[in-house]
Structure 1
Amino acid sequence: MKHLIGMLWLCIGLLTGVVAQAQTASWIQIEAQPTLRQAQQSARNYAADLTDVNGFQIGSGWYALALGPYNENQAAEQLRALRRNGAIPRDSYVTDGTNFRQRFWPVGAAADAPVAAPAPSIAPQEPVVQVIEEETPAQARRSEAQLSRDEKMLLQEALQWEGFYTAKIDGSYGRGTRGAMAEYQGAMGYEQTGVLTTRQRDELVSNYRAQFAKLGMATVEDNNAGISLSLPAALASYARLEPPFVHYDSATDDDVRVLLISQTGDQSTLFGLYDIMQTLEIVPMEGDRTRGERSFTLTGQSADLHSYTYAALKDGAVKGFTLIWKPEDAKLMNRAAQMMRESFAPVQGVVLDDLAGDNSGPQSIDLLAGLEIRRPDMSRSGFYIDDAGTVLTTVEALGQCQRITVNDEYEMQIAARSDALGVAVLRPSAALAPAAYAAFQTGLPRLQSDVAVAGFSYEGVLDLPVLTYGTLADLKGLAGEAAVYRLDLDALPGDTGGPVFDASGAVMGMLLGKNDSARQLPGAVRFTASVPAIAEFLSESGVQMAAAETASQIAPEDLSALASDITVLVSCWN
């Protein structure tokens, strides 16, 4: 069947109208969805309550929903009114629509995207009639039958990309593929026959391929790392060597980065790299982790970045890669990561030299081979109180933590807390057997006796706790509180939560945080939760505490060793 598309004069008239509209057009972008199917459903929901709902394809394979067009003042007024009434998301905003491409909503509307600038003038010409043949379903089936298996699989991939197809990519067109084709046709405003015409196939595949054109996927042979793979060369380019990494930094404002991993080693090296990568900011804490005997995969997602890491051990070398991107590009970049994994090929006998690269760049204990090491939001001290690895610490360290660790290694859960006293109990998520645990003082401490607090004064900068010495100034607080003792001791914030020892090595309390009141106390005035107050709290929490058996003084080096065994770094991560 033949459809008359139009004459050139009519096209020019329509184009002129679109251009005139775009010159003053403003849109309210209310949402973006990663697939056409999701965007169609969302547009349908908004259109039930709002007028002027439009849908456009935008970059990185996403689809924008927008209200309009309006002039600039109308758009601002509409935005305020709709936000105030809760009709649109609070993060909706006014845009000029320059990133809008093909229109997909309303279904059957003209597919033209808003024009960003006036088109050049078109000289009058003789009317031209353009005729495009559209296939009947029978003709579409015949032309489809001429497709190769690879071409059929490509169509399934494109339908999957748009969110219509979820089954296996096999080039076999069964009920699932036919249903996906019909859904796609309906979404695009075509008759839902379940068989794509030649024009519809070309349109689907062209849009699919256009998404990947931005990546500029190209095979790179890195002779430093001894790795061959396909990477998004249009978005990331070679920058520097910092063993065990070869850095490919972002070449655009998309902030896409690639790391090639290459080092000599064995299974211990592979497992060590698996642990180290998870301490870096480029591997957010949320995401799947898989480690096998010879390889591992890490994925990470945060509000700021996503990443994918793969590494494998082969022929005495650990090699792999990391791809890093912004969350809004997740759909496209996940596909890029898959393409990199499929093309990844280590070159035998070539490994990145440990001494390669330029060492004149910035150096810091917070950097590993040029990459920022993840640091906790806050770290305080704590100490083991039983042989199961139960920890007593300060509530200061807890806050709104997504994750709590001891010594940056062991995951902990809050078992009990007393905000009034300022203490909390943590239990390990997995079995833990500490080298030693606290034995608490049984008698009344002597005023003006020597005391020492063990703590991570510098919040993890040092690997072992520091002992800070002072004296017991009073057996009560400044206002007569019986639950605390006053100390004359110049401790740092990181020491808070640490054990306070007497001269025999018995624990006589837990160092409390400084009072946040407006009254400023002298720097050496600190307080410790008393043993009776701690005992009452632990008893109510179902935790048993050990009593000290000796009262004889121990040598400073023995006290230091005991403090190292029982004192832990408690960290809050977000």
Structure 2
Amino acid sequence: MNKTLTSCLLATALAWPAVGMAQSQDTVWLQIEARQTVAGASSAARSYAQQLENVVGFSLGNGFYGIALGPYSPQDAQALSQQLKAQGLIPQDAYIVSGNSYAQQFYPVGTGVSLDPQPLPDGISAPEGAATAEDSATISVEDLARALEEPVAAAEGEEEPQAEAETETAESAPEPPPEPQETRAEAVQSERQLSRDEKRDLQIALEWAGYYDGAIDGLVGPGTRGAMRGWQEAQGLEATGVLTTAQRSTLLRQYNAVLEGLGLATVRDDASGIEMLIPTEVVEFTEYEPPFVKFEPTSDDLPAQVLLISQPGNEDRFFGLYEILQTLEVVPMEGERSRNGQEFTIDGENETYRTHIQASRENGTIKGFMLVWPAGDDERFSRVLDEMQESFTRIEGVLDPAIVAPDDAQAVDLVAGLEVRKPELSQSGVFIDQAGSVLTSSRVAEGCTELTIGGEHEMQVVHSDPDLGIAVLQPQGALAPMRVAEFQTATPRLRAEVAVAGYPYGGILSAPAMSFGTLADLRGLEGEEDLTRLEMTVEPGDAGGPLFDNGGAVLGMLLPRNDEGRVLPEDTNFAADAGAIVASLGGAGIEVQTTRGIEAITPERLTQRAAEMTVLVSCW
């Protein structure tokens, strides 16, 4: 379907080239921190940027995300490092790197990074006598950065490296020395330096690895110690119950490896007023389709989708959105739902999709998101969802409904350009008791994975009479019908005016339609006494609907047409007789209301009465 969108831009940087691939030979970076999640790293970068200039964030690979300043010339970077540490503005363990390991940029959003040396901030000056960029042009930046990254041996009382290392050529540079192994006491000491959030991260990683099933509280007790011992044993390490710095790094790297290749990056969309992490390697922005900002798959390899949800609205619109979203093809009916006046969540899963939707209502705006992921990839789905939920942020703005031209054509089976989930078969039915039981055609109840009325209330078959063509459905939850059928036990007169209530076009109409005709015979064409013959034109969706006399009593139930072996006039149709229906239901222990009243009512009152008891029955 062609769409006409007003001119709009998505002001966000979804992916930037790896810095290490284009790193200038005259620049280095001052790396000040690394985090295990993009959300945490983005938050830290924003905090640093309030006091420091040239704050940048890059993926470091293996599930880590670095925050750096730069780029600067090597001499400026040294001066900056010394003075910022002296002022307490950066950690004391910040160090200078070449940037060769930097991959995708995640901060700042929407702005590329210059690879040219940046001037030092005001108040920071290079040391006197420092070599200029030209003076150091023959010095390898990588060698300088490597030297700066090494611990200062003299300061720690360690031995100097052996002289033979100096004979190595640049082409065959030695592997960095293995990290010294911590003793248990040293590991305990380094663990004490961890924040409570960092300890929670370890518990989450241990839970993911299958060794921890306690509370994620950041308190290291016997359960956490046992999980650490279990992980150490599985890795072939000494089971001390205390992870060393290197072991913690390995555990978190294993935990975050599942996110590699997804390109999680912060996307800020001012049009919708939403900022959050999105897997930008597997989805890309395609269009605004209020109330959605749509991100479609970048390839068929991983058919994921992300939709940002943004619209103005009160509680009525909020509840309406909740109902509409569940009609989408990509939202399976199986799964948990929760809703109150301020927020809702929808989780659906089938053999094709796993979908999560969440939205909340604040200050007259409704905002949220939907993540659709292929079924069977539960681990990545769960991790991506956690990152998206943690990073979801409301910012100023809400998606303008007028962003789509008002005369834009919209198919009735699409909601904002998304295909609505459609049932295999839809027919009609009628409430027959105050518990919400529904009489309908046995055809609609055959071979269904799921049955619903009104598109939302799940039903189950409790009685079926294929010979008569009827079935009774009962709700799986509480229902309170406005009105129930009263079956007419008095014999109607021939040629009386009758009417059928039903949903001739499935769920396209929000209320049942009335079809009027004549009672042609009290028997079928072959003398069947459990049938009545009608002269009226109906649609397939009307089948299962109640047949009314002019007083609003139910004379029977419209049966689906069966033209096999014969061709009948279009206005020749049949209904199961009320007496036969009552007998069949009574035999199954189902009690219904009956009447012998024949007082006529107006067509307007009849239509209103029919609307209060007639329902749409769908087979999925």
TM (norm. structure 1) is 0.69
In structure 2, distance between residues paired with 1:382 and 1:178: 61
In structure 1, distance between residues paired with 2:431 and 2:263: 55
For 1:329-358, what per-residue CA distance to the aligned partner results, in whole angstroms no more than 9, with x for missing partners? 22122222222222222124x221121246
In structure 2, distance between residues paired with 1:170 and 1:557: 64
State the Cα distance separating 1:406 from its structure 2 match. 2.6
CA contact 1:289–1:299 (8 Å) conserved in 2:
yes
Alignment of 1:451-470 (within 5 A): 451-470=498-517
In structure 2, distance between residues paired with 1:268 and 1:559: 29
For 1:59-100, what per-residue CA distance to the aligned partner results, in whole angstroms no more than 9, with x for missing partners? x99xxxxxxxxxxxxxxxxxxxxxxxxxxxxxxxxxxxxxxx
Quick one: which of 224, 230, 236 aligns to 1:177? Answer: 224
Cα distance change of structure 1 residues 307 and 409 upon mapping to structure 2, 3 Å threshold? closer
Establish whether residue 333 from structure 1 lines up as the match of residue 378 from structure 2: no
State the Cα distance separating 1:166 from its structure 2 match. 2.2
For 1:446-481, what per-residue CA distance to the aligned partner results, in whole angstroms no more than 9, with x for missing partners? 344443322211222222323334443433334433
Alignment of 1:350-369 (within 5 A): 350-357=397-404, 363-369=410-416
2:186 counterpart residue number: 142
In structure 2, distance between residues paired with 1:199 and 1:342: 27
Q: Secondary structure at the match of 1:161?
A: helix
In structure 1, distance between residues paired with 2:510 and 2:340: 30
1:315 counterpart residue number: 363
State the Cα distance separating 1:424 from its structure 2 match. 2.0
1:70 counterpart residue number: none
Which amino acid in the other structure matches residue 356 of structure 1?
I
2:465 counterpart residue number: 418
Cα distance change of structure 1 residues 284 and 482 upon mapping to structure 2, 3 Å threshold? same
CA contact 2:427–2:616 (8 Å) conserved in 1:
yes
State the Cα distance separating 1:410 from its structure 2 match. 4.0
Q: Secondary structure at the match of 1:463?
A: coil
Q: Secondary structure at the match of 1:208?
A: helix
In structure 2, distance between residues paired with 1:438 and 1:310: 39
Establish whether residue 512 from structure 1 lines up as the match of residue 559 from structure 2: yes
Quick one: which of 484, 491, 495 aligns to 2:538? Answer: 491
For 1:361-411, what per-residue CA distance to the aligned partner results, in whole angstroms no more than 9, with x for missing partners? 762111111222223232111123345543221112222444433333544
Which amino acid in the other structure matches residue 315 of structure 1?
N
Which amino acid in the other structure matches residue 334 of structure 2?
E
1:207 counterpart residue number: 254
Cα distance change of structure 1 residues 132 and 160 upon mapping to structure 2, 3 Å threshold? farther
Alignment of 1:369-518 (within 5 A): 369-515=416-562
Cα distance change of structure 1 residues 565 and 404 upon mapping to structure 2, 3 Å threshold? same
CA contact 1:382–1:497 (8 Å) conserved in 2:
yes
Which amino acid in the other structure matches residue 142 of structure 1?
E
Q: Secondary structure at the match of 2:330?
A: coil
Which amino acid in the other structure matches residue 222 of structure 2?
R
Q: Secondary structure at the match of 1:214?
A: coil
Quick one: which of 295, 298, 313 aligns to 1:265? Answer: 313
State the Cα distance separating 1:141 from its structure 2 match. 5.5
1:282 counterpart residue number: 330
State the Cα distance separating 1:225 from its structure 2 match. 1.0
Cα distance change of structure 1 residues 156 and 560 upon mapping to structure 2, 3 Å threshold? closer
Q: Secondary structure at the match of 1:355?
A: helix
In structure 2, distance between residues paired with 1:475 and 1:187: 79
Cα distance change of structure 1 residues 328 and 438 upon mapping to structure 2, 3 Å threshold? closer
In structure 2, distance between residues paired with 1:313 and 1:441: 49
Q: Secondary structure at the match of 1:440?
A: strand
CA contact 1:413–1:429 (8 Å) conserved in 2:
yes
State the Cα distance separating 1:223 from its structure 2 match. 0.6
CA contact 1:135–1:197 (8 Å) conserved in 2:
no
Cα distance change of structure 1 residues 169 and 381 upon mapping to structure 2, 3 Å threshold? closer
Cα distance change of structure 1 residues 449 and 290 upon mapping to structure 2, 3 Å threshold? closer
1:88 counterpart residue number: none
State the Cα distance separating 1:537 from its structure 2 match. 1.5
Q: Higher Cα Rg: structure 1 or 2? A: 2
Cα distance change of structure 1 residues 128 and 431 upon mapping to structure 2, 3 Å threshold? closer
In structure 2, distance between residues paired with 1:516 and 1:190: 76
In structure 2, distance between residues paired with 1:390 and 1:171: 52
CA contact 2:184–2:240 (8 Å) conserved in 1:
no
CA contact 1:288–1:300 (8 Å) conserved in 2:
yes
Q: Secondary structure at the match of 1:328?
A: coil
Q: Secondary structure at the match of 1:487?
A: strand
State the Cα distance separating 1:554 from its structure 2 match. 4.5
In structure 1, distance between residues paired with 2:334 and 2:394: 28
In structure 2, distance between residues paired with 1:224 and 1:174: 47
Alignment of 1:90-169 (within 5 A): 139=183, 142-143=186-187, 145-147=189-191, 148-149=193-194, 152-169=199-216
CA contact 2:461–2:474 (8 Å) conserved in 1:
yes
In structure 1, distance between residues paired with 2:554 and 2:507: 22
Q: Secondary structure at the match of 1:160?
A: helix
In structure 1, distance between residues paired with 2:555 and 2:379: 57
Cα distance change of structure 1 residues 475 and 313 upon mapping to structure 2, 3 Å threshold? closer
Q: Secondary structure at the match of 1:421?
A: coil
CA RMSD of aligned residues (A): 3.4
In structure 2, distance between residues paired with 1:492 and 1:329: 43
For 1:295-350, what per-residue CA distance to the aligned partner results, in whole angstroms no more than 9, with x for missing partners? 222222121111222222223222211222112322122222222222222124x2
Establish whether residue 545 from structure 1 lines up as the match of residue 592 from structure 2: yes
Which amino acid in the other structure matches residue 299 of structure 1?
D
CA contact 1:134–1:197 (8 Å) conserved in 2:
no
Which amino acid in the other structure matches residue 311 of structure 2?
Q
Q: Secondary structure at the match of 2:403?
A: coil
Cα distance change of structure 1 residues 402 and 144 upon mapping to structure 2, 3 Å threshold? farther
Which amino acid in the other structure matches residue 326 of structure 2?
Q
TM (norm. structure 2) is 0.64
CA contact 1:473–1:487 (8 Å) conserved in 2:
yes
Quick one: which of 287, 295, 317 aligns to 1:240? Answer: 287
In structure 2, distance between residues paired with 1:280 and 1:131: 54
For 1:500-526, what per-residue CA distance to the aligned partner results, in whole angstroms no more than 9, with x for missing partners? 233444322111223485555554443
Cα distance change of structure 1 residues 511 and 355 upon mapping to structure 2, 3 Å threshold? same
1:112 counterpart residue number: none
CA contact 1:241–1:358 (8 Å) conserved in 2:
no
Which amino acid in the other structure matches residue 414 of structure 2?
L
Establish whether residue 572 from structure 1 lines up as the match of residue 616 from structure 2: no
Which amino acid in the other structure matches residue 194 of structure 2?
R
The sequence identity of aligned pairs, in percent, is 43
In structure 2, distance between residues paired with 1:400 and 1:362: 35
Cα distance change of structure 1 residues 131 and 212 upon mapping to structure 2, 3 Å threshold? closer
CA contact 1:310–1:341 (8 Å) conserved in 2:
no
In structure 1, distance between residues paired with 2:449 and 2:254: 40
State the Cα distance separating 1:174 from its structure 2 match. 3.6
CA contact 2:187–2:243 (8 Å) conserved in 1:
no
CA contact 1:385–1:546 (8 Å) conserved in 2:
yes
Structure 2: gaps of 5 or more residues? 1-61, 64-171
In structure 2, distance between residues paired with 1:152 and 1:440: 68
Q: Which moved more, 1:533-542 or 1:394-403?
A: 394-403
For 1:392-451, what per-residue CA distance to the aligned partner results, in whole angstroms no more than 9, with x for missing partners? 211122224444333335444434222222212233445544443333333333344443
2:161 counterpart residue number: none
CA contact 2:259–2:383 (8 Å) conserved in 1:
no
In structure 2, distance between residues paired with 1:325 and 1:409: 23
CA contact 1:240–1:357 (8 Å) conserved in 2:
no
CA contact 2:489–2:579 (8 Å) conserved in 1:
no
What is the number of residues matched between the two proteins? 447
In structure 1, distance between residues paired with 2:499 and 2:597: 17
Structure 1: gaps of 5 or more residues? 1-59, 62-126
